[in-house]
Amino acid sequence: MKKRTIDHTELLVLSLLAGEDMYGYQIITELARRSDHTFDMKEGTLYPVLHGLWKDGQVECYEAEAPTGRKRKYYHLTKKGRDALKVETEEWKGYTHGVDAVLSYVPAQG
């Protein structure tokens, strides 16, 4: 399948963080797992998105020690982030509804 750009990275990241606080690599691996590798995000894509969400007040970050003893930076969704997730989810549903409506009129090729 042809690789596509990820136009809605903020929506995807906010959705993951709505379930639990996560560190960067965990976000990358969980996004790939949940999407059946449709979204294989690179660190160079993720960290600017996280920084933008943090700067906008949609996420907060904190350091915690992992079971290995290593310090990790975890990201936590704020109320502003939850509100943004709700709005972006509704916008996405409207968008996909429109795309599905158009695709339903595509004649069968045969």
Q: What is the CATH number of the domain that holds 71?
A: 1.10.10.10
Q: Which mean pLDDT values do the consecutive 10-residue runs of the chain (110 residues) have?
A: 62 96 96 94 94 96 91 97 95 92 82
- Rounded Cα gap, residues 21 and 63, in angstroms: 11
Residues 6+ apart with CB under 8 A from 82: 18
Model pLDDT, residue 110: 63
Model pLDDT, residue 109: 73
Model pLDDT, residue 27: 97
Q: Where are the alpha helices (DSSP H) in the chain?
A: 9-19, 24-34, 43-55, 79-103
Residue 62, CA distances (Å) to 22, 51, 88 in order = 10, 13, 25
Please report whether residue 72 resides in a domain. yes
Please report whether residue 4 resides in a domain. no
What's the structural domain count of the chain?
1
Please report whether residue 59 resides in a domain. yes
Instruction: Quote the domain boundaries for residue 37.
Output: 9-99
Model pLDDT, residue 1: 44
pTM: 0.84
Model pLDDT, residue 7: 62
